[in-house]
């Protein structure tokens, strides 16, 4: 067997191996992205950058291996390595920038989800305090309100304060403080059952606090939502 025949045989073996590697990489990418599409994981900007880079890198490697078996060096004024490198780099850039445009780089969808969760929590706490205020009003008018006061505790208010402490990071300091002040006003109202003057004063404070919470909700959620929808 001549040296040329051995060389050609080795080249054929290399081409087959390279094509298999390229096909394997392509299959891995396809499977990964099919799973990515159907599972729809929430990703941040860092994960997006990593995925984009890996997709472009694997595409470039596949192109490098495939282009090597096309034998273009005879028709182009470039060596095989130069052709491979040029093609791989071109594919890398194409995939990188197409992928860049294909994924929403902004985190607006995540921010919208977080805002919706915040608003849901805020409205839930507001509703709980409103229900408690109704019970307190009945209590101050002399009605028996089962479960409002148990020993020295006000269980429903205690639960609200525990909820507030657990979700302080989600709703923010402003709303946390506003809700906490409103809860403390309800405690003062209960303690002022036999003091009509103090009851009137505390109800006025309570109404002002309710108006302030409404203003904060308007500022933090409604106005932001309107601005986003107008873009």
Q: What is the structure's pLDDT at 119?
A: 86
Q: Chain-centre distance of CA 9, in angstroms? A: 54
Q: Which long-range contacts (CB under 8 A, 24 or more apart) does 158-165 make?
A: 159/128, 160/125, 160/128, 160/129, 160/132, 163/125, 163/128, 164/125
Q: What is the model's pLDDT at position 76?
A: 46
Q: Residue 106: what pLDDT?
A: 47
The pLDDT value recorded for residue 192 is 92
Ramachandran bin of 147, using left for φ above 0, alpha for ψ from -120 to 50, beta for the remaining angles? left
pLDDT of residue 116: 80
- Separation in Å, CA 230 to CA 107, 217, 225: 18, 19, 9
Q: In sequence order, what DSSP letters do the residues of 21-71 get, joined into one string?
A: HHHHHHHHHHHHHHHHHHH-----HHHHHHHHHHHHHHHHHHHHHHHTTS-
Tell me which residue has tokens 């950058």. 49
Give helix 173-191 / helix 196-217 axis angle, nearest 10°: 160
The predicted-structure confidence for 59-80, as pLDDT tens digits, reads as follows 776 666 666 544 444 444 456 5
Count the alpha carbons within 13 Å of 210 in the hemisphere toward its beta carbon: 14
CB 46 within 8 A of CB 82: no
The CA–CA distances, whole Å, from 68 to 22, 59, 100 equal: 11, 14, 27
**Residues near 22 by beta carbon (within 8 Å), at least 6 away in sequence:** 61, 62, 63, 64, 65, 66
Q: Output the pLDDT for position 187.
A: 94
Residues of the chain with pLDDT under 50: 1-6, 8, 69-77, 102-110, 231
Q: Which residues pair with 150 in a beta bridge?
A: 153
Q: What is the DSSP letter of 152?
A: T
């Amino acid at each position: 067997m001549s040296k040329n025949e051995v060389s050609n045989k080795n080249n054929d073996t290399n081409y087959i191996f390279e094509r298999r590697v390229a096909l394997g990489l392509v299959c891995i990418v396809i499977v990964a992205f099919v799973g990515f599409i159907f599972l729809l994981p929430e990703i941040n900007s860092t994960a997006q950058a990593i995925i984009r880079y890996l997709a472009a890198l694997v595409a470039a490697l596949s192109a490098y291996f495939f282009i090597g078996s096309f034998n273009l060096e005879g028709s182009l004024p470039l060596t095989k390595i130069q052709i491979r490198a040029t093609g791989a780099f071109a594919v890398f850039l194409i995939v990188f920038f197409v992928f860049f445009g294909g994924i929403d780089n902004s985190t607006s969808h995540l921010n919208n989800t977080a805002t919706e969760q915040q608003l849901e929590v805020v409205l839930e706490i507001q509703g709980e305090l409103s229900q408690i205020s109704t019970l307190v009003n009945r209590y101050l008018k002399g009605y028996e309100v089962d479960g409002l006061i148990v020993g020295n505790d006000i269980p429903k208010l205690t639960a609200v304060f525990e909820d507030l402490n657990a979700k302080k990071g989600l709703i923010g300091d402003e709303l946390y403080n506003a809700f906490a002040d409103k809860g403390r006003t309800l405690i003062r109202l209960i303690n002022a059952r036999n003091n009509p003057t103090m009851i009137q004063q505390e109800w006025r404070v309570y109404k002002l606090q309710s108006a302030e919470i409404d203003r904060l909700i308007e500022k933090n959620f409604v106005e932001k939502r309107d601005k986003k929808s107008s873009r």
